[in-house]
Structure 1
Amino acid sequence: MQIERPPIPESEWSARVELAALYRLVAHFGMTDMIDTHITARVPGPEHHFLINRYGVLFHEMRASDLIKIDGQGSVVEPILEDDPARYRVNAAGFTIHSAIHMARPDLSCVIHTHTAAGTAVSAQRQGLLPISQHALKFYERLAYHDYEGIALDLGERERLVRDLGSHSAMILRNHGLLVAGRSVPAAFQNIYFLELACQIQVRALAGGAELNMPSEAVCRLAAQQFDRDEAAEIIALQWQAALRLIEGGATDYRT
């Protein structure tokens, strides 16, 4: 017997559409790892529910209806169609990392985790992210680090992830990849876009073999503060609206 999906509240559907768009933008900029890595977003409301990708759907084909609603333990909290249980498969390891941040930081509504070549390369470099580009300076004294503990299956790691993240919204997972979050989906997108590009710049600069120029500590701090200026929210919104135009006209509509 097939269970009918109940009507989805408008606030949840808007969150689904925005998150599906983010999945496609992450794919557009080449920040995917096949079906691995995840992006999650908080569902509006008091229930502490979250949206995550259906395991097996590629990021560039993600639709609002492909997202699965789960609770803080990663359990599905919407009716499962008996004739298609695989439709609700969620990657447990992926949500271990995300649940830690979501449950400890209610101020952050969206969490992105990536395994890009550049991000993982920098995560393997002992010095971490160097302050050698304007993109990197966005995270000057605003970037956390977490040591690799193996595939994230141990729920006990959540406490250490939260401890290491502290009050930041971006973190390098040593020998693993990048993790960013944001108060909104557009804010999280800006964080991953800048952090990924900063890592790409660093890998290329180090590969060049020339001596690197390091801005003074005072300039580094000034640049980081400038990213937090009063019009930052407006810039984030403008960037998001511009980015959405990059994913228009696909074979399927992310809003479905």
Structure 2
Amino acid sequence: MQATADKKATQDKQAAGDKQNTPGKPNTLADPGLKDRVSEAEWQLRVDLAAAYRLVAHYGWDDLIFTHLSVRIPGPEHHFLINPFGALFEEITASSLVKIDLNGEKVDESPFWVNPAGFTIHSAIHQAREDAQCVMHTHTTAGVAVSAQREGLLPLSQQSLFPLAGLAYHDYEGIAVRDDEKARLVRDLGAANFMILRNHGLLTCAPTIPDAFLAMFILQRACEIQVAALAGGQPLTAVPQAIVDKIVSEGDKVTSSQGGLLAWPGLLRKLDRIDPCYRD
């Protein structure tokens, strides 16, 4: 009898957990009242950044809780939003994102704290680059593999050509928690929107979340293709530099100069079908 009771208690507990995680149900990380306490512009950025976190998880680019995406909130304060450290990317919601300043201090009340490495990398770029409204950083297997290869990203695919038109590199200095690394990171990034962090991973930045996400999608796919091509053990054909030099203008024609915004609505529809609670 006791075994039966214990089994039923376990089943009830599992059912309760499943109910809590059902798409469309309230997310435990959400703050239901936050939407009414922030501007419409900030709320839209929160929704889009939460969507980007969910998409990173969907495509398998997350590294448990150890990478980060951020977006700057309009205004002279250089406040920006970043993930609540400790939350899986698949859990993040618009209202759970943490607003911090360039000193890493929370601007608004939040029960969550921030990854110090995330603060170091993102605050450096947001402070130095007015155009880098969104910054994305990942530790994917393919991205780290290419970052460890001496030649870095090679012109082996159409996808690789877009990053190669403006790609920066930053040498590994250990876990990014020291303030003195900021200046070197910013110097190495320069005006580029794509960066490979040696032995570490990938970074993209852009004026908008959709553009930064598209840049990361392309850079990640280029790294995946390179790892697969090198594993094939056959001689490889590189794309001539003359083609690399004109690829960006050709890409603008394909997207009618809309960049990431062309694909973003479809990506949001994908997320809404999977689990719309990222909007909470």
- Same fold, TM-score > 0.5, yes or no: yes
Partner in structure 1 of residue 98 of structure 2: 68
Alignment TM-score, normalising by the size of structure 2: 0.84
Q: Is the 8 A contact 1:61 1:252 kept in 2?
A: no
Q: Is the 8 A contact 1:54 1:66 kept in 2?
A: yes
Q: Is the 8 A contact 1:140 1:224 kept in 2?
A: no
Partner in structure 2 of residue 163 of structure 1: 187
Q: CA deviation at 1:143?
A: 0.2
* Letter in structure 2 aligned against 1:240: W
Q: CA deviation at 1:251?
A: 4.8
- Fraction of identical pairs, as percent: 52
Partner in structure 2 of residue 19 of structure 1: 49
| 1:191–1:232 Cα change, 3 Å | farther
Q: CA deviation at 1:157?
A: 0.3
* Letter in structure 2 aligned against 1:161: L
Q: Can you list the C-alpha shifts for 1:15-55, whole angstroms capped at 9, x where unaligned?
A: 10110011111111111000100000011222210000101
Q: CA deviation at 1:221?
A: 1.4
Q: CA deviation at 1:220?
A: 1.9
* Letter in structure 1 aligned against 2:167: L
Of 244, 248, 262 in structure 2, the residue corresponding to residue 220 of structure 1 is 244
Structure 1 residue 131 corresponds to structure 2 residue 155 = yes
Moved over 3 A (4+): 228-233, 249-252
Q: Is the 8 A contact 1:120 1:176 kept in 2?
A: yes
Aligned partners of 1:219, 1:250: CA distance in 2, in Å? 39
Partner in structure 2 of residue 187 of structure 1: 211
Aligned partners of 1:202, 1:218: CA distance in 2, in Å? 20
Structure 1 residue 245 corresponds to structure 2 residue 269 = yes
| 1:233–1:224 Cα change, 3 Å | closer
Aligned partners of 1:200, 1:25: CA distance in 2, in Å? 17
- Larger Rg computed on CA atoms: 2
| 1:234–1:252 Cα change, 3 Å | closer
Aligned partners of 1:178, 1:89: CA distance in 2, in Å? 23
Q: Is the 8 A contact 1:51 1:69 kept in 2?
A: yes
| 1:249–1:164 Cα change, 3 Å | same
Q: CA deviation at 1:234?
A: 2.2
* Letter in structure 1 aligned against 2:114: V
Worse overlay, 235-244 or 122-131: 235-244
Q: CA deviation at 1:244?
A: 1.3
Aligned partners of 1:108, 1:215: CA distance in 2, in Å? 29
Q: Can you list the C-alpha shifts for 1:2-21, whole angstroms capped at 9, x where unaligned?
A: xx967111111111011001
Q: CA deviation at 1:245?
A: 1.8
Of 103, 110, 131 in structure 1, the residue corresponding to residue 127 of structure 2 is 103
Aligned partners of 1:152, 1:227: CA distance in 2, in Å? 33
| 1:76–1:230 Cα change, 3 Å | same
Partner in structure 1 of residue 170 of structure 2: 146
Tell me which protein shows more helix as a share of its residues. Answer: 2
Q: Is the 8 A contact 1:32 1:59 kept in 2?
A: yes
Alignment TM-score, normalising by the size of structure 1: 0.92
Number of residue pairs matched by the alignment: 247
Q: Is the 8 A contact 2:252 2:259 kept in 1?
A: no
Aligned partners of 1:191, 1:251: CA distance in 2, in Å? 24
Equivalent position SS for 1:113: strand
Partner in structure 2 of residue 84 of structure 1: none
Structure 1 segments unaligned to the other structure (5+ residues): 81-86
The alignment's C-alpha RMSD in Å is 1.6
